[in-house]
Amino acid sequence: MSPSRTDEVEYQEVADTKPKVSYDINVPYMPASGEYEARIKDRTEFPQYLPVWEKGVWFDEVEEFEYHDPALRADKAKPHLLAAGVTATPITPKMGTVLTGLKLEQLTPEAKDELALLVSERKVVVCREQFDFLNKGPAYQVDFMQYYGKLSHQPVTGAVKGFPEFHIIHRDGNKEEIATFFKHKTTSTIWHHDVSYERQPPGYIMLGILACPDVGGDTVVADMSEAYNRLSPAFQGMINQMSAVHTSEKLIAHARENKGLVRSNPVDSIHPVVRVHPVTGERALFTNMEWPKEYLGLKQEESAVVVKFLMDHVRMGHDFQARVHWEKHSVVMFDGRTTLHTATVDYDNAEQARHLFRLAAMTEVPISVSDAERGIRR
């Protein structure tokens, strides 16, 4: 981050008319100065987590860095994490675990390593009743997540004041916007990896649930390792060799078009379509609906067929998906290497807000099948 580069920050007040169709209906757009917080500050238990769009902040592209995964030094039996009083309940047989009785703020380094291992193995870990952890504030949570890797910065969305590592999701009272959205769209579903356009995309991702509807607004997670395993050896052999260009250019362009705040230039990275997990050794599909723009070596018609097949495979794969039900004061950690996820907008926000934060720890450069077979670990 280079705060001195204020000349490169683009900032304009939002026009009186909002975009006809939101880029992502789950994410708030920058309002006219001061309007957002004034409108809803009394309707949230955690006002310090309301989104702000601070001027004078610019993020350069993250340079490649050496990464050491804490899961690789964890005790596989997880005695420090799954200690007395902690209950682990599966969400599905193969994916997802709910932990109750755990206090994230009390974890030792050994327990944090074991949590990384559990996230790698189970792909989604839901920790219930984490008010004390959430109440410790943004600085504490940033420090906690930096244990798992260098934190990414979202280039256009609201963050916590003074903590640009946060990506804030807050929807409250936007019934009309949702209605407008569905006049143009049949679904809000966007199956995606978080910021996969980074050279070293996030591997460990935390969501802190500050408020949520009693019913609705869940997140659905797909196991991309199991999705890969369901494919035929012939098809696997083809996509094992494929790479795609992931880019943030669409997101940046949308913000600029709608006179929003932009804090970085577009980032492009080339990633394998199948990546290998450095902890579990699993192969996983690494493509999504949001960030890839080009599949190298394929003609447009060919890539269109392959991508449609893979995304239809994920959409219809209810037998390798898990639905994560939000409960206030929960903290969720999931594996960005082996999952896709999408929010579900099945509520109108007329009475109850959906408010959460994301912190995303970047890990290794994605390992291709050929690199793994040659013993190359990035």
**pLDDT single digits (tens) 353-363:** 889 999 999 99
pTM for the full model?
0.91
Query: Which secondary structure element, helix H or strand E, spans residue 199, and what is its range?
Result: none
pLDDT bucket at 228, cuts 50 / 70 / 90: very high
- Convert the pLDDT of each residue in 245-303 to its tens digit: 999 999 999 888 888 889 999 999 999 999 999 999 999 999 999 999 999 999 999 99
Query: Rounded CA gap, 30 and 38, in Å?
Result: 13
Residues with Cβ within 8 Å of 117's Cβ and at least 6 positions away in sequence, in order, are 71, 74, 76, 78, 279
Instruction: Report DSSP state, residue 148.
Output: T
Per-residue pLDDT at 6 exceeds 50: no
Lowest mean per-residue pLDDT among 49-53, 334-338, 358-362: 49-53
Inside any domain, residue 3: no
**Higher per-residue confidence, 349 vs 225:** 225
Here the CATH number for the domain that contains residue 81 is 3.60.130.10
Q: Is residue 254 part of a domain?
A: yes
Helix locations, 147-248, DSSP H: 175-184, 224-229, 233-239
H or E element in which residue 314 lies: helix 300-315
Residue 85, helix vs strand vs coil? coil
Closest CA to 125 of 342, 324, 318, 340: 324
N residues, the chain: 378
Determine contact, residues 223/93, Cβ cutoff 8 Å: no
Q: What is the pLDDT of residues 130-186, one digit of tens each?
A: 999 999 999 999 999 999 999 999 899 889 999 999 999 988 877 787 888 888 888
Is residue 58 domain-resident? yes
Q: Predicted confidence band at 70 (pLDDT cuts at 50, 70, 90)?
A: very high
Residue 12 has pLDDT above 60, yes or no: no
- Domain membership flag for residue 239: yes
Q: Is 307 or 345 the better-scoring residue by pLDDT?
A: 307
Number of domains in the chain: 1
What pLDDT is recorded for position 7? Answer: 37
Give the residue numbers spanning the domain of 228.
Answer: 20-373
Q: Has residue 363 been placed in a domain?
A: yes
Distance CA 366, CA 278 (A): 9
Q: Is residue 7 part of a domain?
A: no
pLDDT band at residue 214 under the 50/70/90 scheme: confident
9 located within any domain: no
User: Mean pLDDT score of the chain, rounded to an integer?
Assistant: 89
Report the pLDDT value the prediction gives residue 378, as an integer from 0 to 100: 67
In percent, the amount of the chain with pLDDT more than 90 equals 69
Identify the pLDDT of residue 13.
Answer: 38
Count of CA atoms in the C-beta half-sphere (13 A) of 344: 14
On whether residue 307 sits in a domain, the answer given is: yes
Specify the pLDDT at position 139: 98
Query: What are the residue ranges of helices labelled H in 23-163?
Result: 35-40, 109-122, 131-135, 138-146
